[in-house]
Amino acid sequence: MERSNCLPQIGTLHNYQLTFFCGSTSLCRVGGNLEALQKAKYNADSFYSVIGLTVDLQRTFDLMEAFLPRFFTSAAHIFEQNSISGKTRMNVNEEYNRVISNLTLQKLLTSPAIENEYEFYNFVKQRFEIQYRDVFATSNTNNESENSHPREESDSISVKSNDTQKEHQH
């Protein structure tokens, strides 16, 4: 099989993260579609209070606990404890943990059909970083050591949501 056959092509149907956030119309499953990217960004901002990152699960649980304490109370602590005790397994299958070549990476990064996926991921990542900084700003302003956990800084966290202030108790 040619390597070019492995890369997504513009105009073909895909089921990626952008598809999920864009919606179920055929427009949303067409790779390289700028309208799909814009709709996904709009939906992420309008309908999701927080979107986590699997590459940063500890901070994802911290943020989800702050935004959705009813569902995620103690989730960050449990994840942290499981990580310390070795109960959390992170992609231990060596076969799937191979490093890809620079050529393959370059092809992927410049593939028009998935450029929007990278742009959407970077949009979500930037949004995550802003939310995390805003929620846990008290830990930065208190000049605490890097080892302190943000949730331990105070009994409550202010969360901005659609221009309203909400108080969440831990």
Q: Is 158 helix (H, G, I), strand (E, B) or coil?
A: strand
Least confident of 36-40, 113-117, 147-151: 147-151
Q: What is the pLDDT of residue 39?
A: 95
State the DSSP code for 166: E
Computed on alpha carbons and rounded to an integer, the radius of gyration of the chain in Å comes to 19
Q: Are 113 and 32 in contact (CB under 8 A)?
A: yes
Q: Check whether 94 has a pLDDT greater than 90.
A: no
pLDDT level of residue 159 (50, 70, 90 thresholds): very low
- Phi first, then psi: what are they for 56, rounded to 5°? -140, 65
- Between these two residues, 103 and 159, which has the higher pLDDT value? 103
Q: How confident is the model at residue 107 (pLDDT cuts 50, 70, 90)?
A: confident
CA angle 152, 156, 158 (to 5 degrees): 120
Distance between CA atoms of residues 123 and 38, nearest Å: 11
CB 150 within 8 A of CB 136: yes
Second-level CATH architecture of 10-169? 3-Layer(aba) Sandwich (3.40)
Q: Which helix (H) or strand (E) holds 159?
A: strand 156-161
Provide the pLDDT for residue 5. 54
Helices (H) and strands (E) in the chain, counts: 8, 2
Concatenated DSSP letters for 117-146?
HHHHHHHHHHHHHHHHHHHTHHHHHTT--T
More confident residue, 23 or 7: 23
Domain segments of the chain: what residues?
10-169
State the pLDDT at residue 51: 95
pLDDT digits 0-9 by tens, 147-157: 444 433 333 33
Q: Can you tell me whether residue 25 is helix, strand or coil?
A: coil
**In the chain, what is the straight-line distance between the N-terminal and C-terminal CA atoms, in Å?**
55
User: What does pTM read for this prediction?
Assistant: 0.66
Q: Give the tens place of pLDDT for each residue, 63-75.
A: 999 999 999 999 8
